[in-house]
Amino acid sequence: MKATILPFPGKQELLEGLVDAGAILVGAEVRRRYGLRTPVFIDLRTAVYTDLALFSLLGSSFARILERWSTPGTPQQVIGVPDTGIPMAAATSLASLRKGREPFVTLSVLRKEARVYPGEIVSEFVGRPDPSREANLIDDVVASGGSLRRAVTRLKELEIPIGRIVVCVDREQGGVDALADLGIPIYALFSLAEIGDFCRERKLI
């Protein structure tokens, strides 16, 4: 099983930007920088956040997906998976505001660990999830599915239903299969195979 790979305006531009910025590395460059022998390496934690135009384009792409594929007429919210999904969720919310979408997509952040304040007040979030809005869990990739499962488990314990999971890349390493029992649809901007085809067309691998 694989994630549903979605078409959206500017998809080719975003993929070109990610490759040109070094957020997607291929071939010898992966070995040179990280000492790994995988043909494709995806790291959205560095290159994307130092290129604000690319970061904005990524947020706009997520926002377009929610605009097209979320439940019609239902207000949306995004919840960032710690750590990498947090800035992506923020970019998505801001992109919806810039687009003038009403109501705009609100944001909350799932803390990596709950914070306990004096008086035994437990804070699981930065921001506050809105139970009247459909929730979208945002992350960079789905690989093994472990981090997404942990996030979904915590949200279920907090009685926050997730409408869908949206990631930038499905690495096609079995993570979608591993999450199938959760019953939550998983969408991706790109598949690893799609990225591989693009890189071969550009003779990068």
Domain total of the chain: 1
Model pLDDT, residue 176:
94
pLDDT of residue 71: 85
Percent of all residues in the chain with a pLDDT value above 70, rounded to a whole number: 96
Asked if residues 194 and 172 have their Cβ atoms less than 8 Å apart, the reply is: no
What pLDDT score does 101 carry? 66
pLDDT tens digit sequence for 93-112: 999 988 776 778 999 988 88
Confidence of residue 53 (pLDDT cuts 50, 70, 90): very high
- Which CATH number fits the domain that encloses residue 21? 3.40.50.2020
- Kindly compute the dihedral angle of the four CA atoms of residues 156, 81, 64, 104, in this order, to the nearest 10 degrees: 70
Under a CB-based contact definition with an 8 Å cutoff, are residues 88 and 168 in contact? yes
Nearest-10 Cα torsion for 88, 93, 96, 101? 150
pLDDT at 67: 87
Q: What is the pLDDT of residues 137-146, one digit of tens each?
A: 999 999 889 9
DSSP 150: H
Q: Which domain holds residue 38?
A: 4-201
pLDDT at 124: 78
Quote the pLDDT of residue 104: 86
- Average per-residue pLDDT for the chain: 87
pLDDT at residue 202 greater than cutoff 90: no
